Structure 1
């Protein structure tokens, strides 16, 4: 059976590990938030680029089928 000092040591190690895991979790949450913001920004830029491309495509002249074969 473990002695009282062994139990105290183990509890102290567990408390230290718990604090380390809390700090790690906080850092990971910050990274997730930063990456989510970056993803949202990239998604917004992509949508803006798509809108610009769609606008440019609408400005292109439409060729008729018969016009394609004519010299």
Structure 2
């Protein structure tokens, strides 16, 4: 009976350790995701700015004569 309780205690300790590790990994992944989303937003803004500049330049081109 004591051996079974010790084995159970060890398994519970392993599960608790795994839970701690997974929580830590989850926090890290959430931080990485937030950073990636922020970078994506910056890139979208840069692309929009570039598109606006290109559209402005295209509007300044003389029209081709047929």
Question: Is this a same-fold pair by TM over 0.5?
Answer: yes
- Provide the secondary structure at the position in 1 that maps to 2:45: helix
Q: Secondary structure at the match of 2:30?
A: helix
Count of aligned residue pairs for this structure pair: 65
Larger Rg: 1
**Equivalent residue number for residue 49 of structure 1:** 50
Any idea what SS the aligned residue of 2:64 has? Answer: coil
For 1:63 and 1:34, the matched residues in 2 are separated by 46
- Deviation (angstroms), 1:14: 0.3
Task: Give me the whole-angstrom Cα distance separating, in 2, the residues matched to 1:23 and 1:63.
Answer: 62
Residue in 2 that maps onto 1:16? 17
Q: CA deviation at 1:53?
A: 0.3
Structure 1 unpaired stretches of 5+? 66-71
Consecutive unaligned residues of structure 2, counting only runs of 5 or more, are none
RMSD after superposition: 1.3
**Structure 1 residues 1-71: aligned runs within 5 Å:** 3-65=4-66
Q: Which TM-score applies when normalising by structure 2?
A: 0.94
Moved over 3 A (4+): none
For residue 47 of structure 1, report the CA deviation from its aligned partner.
0.5
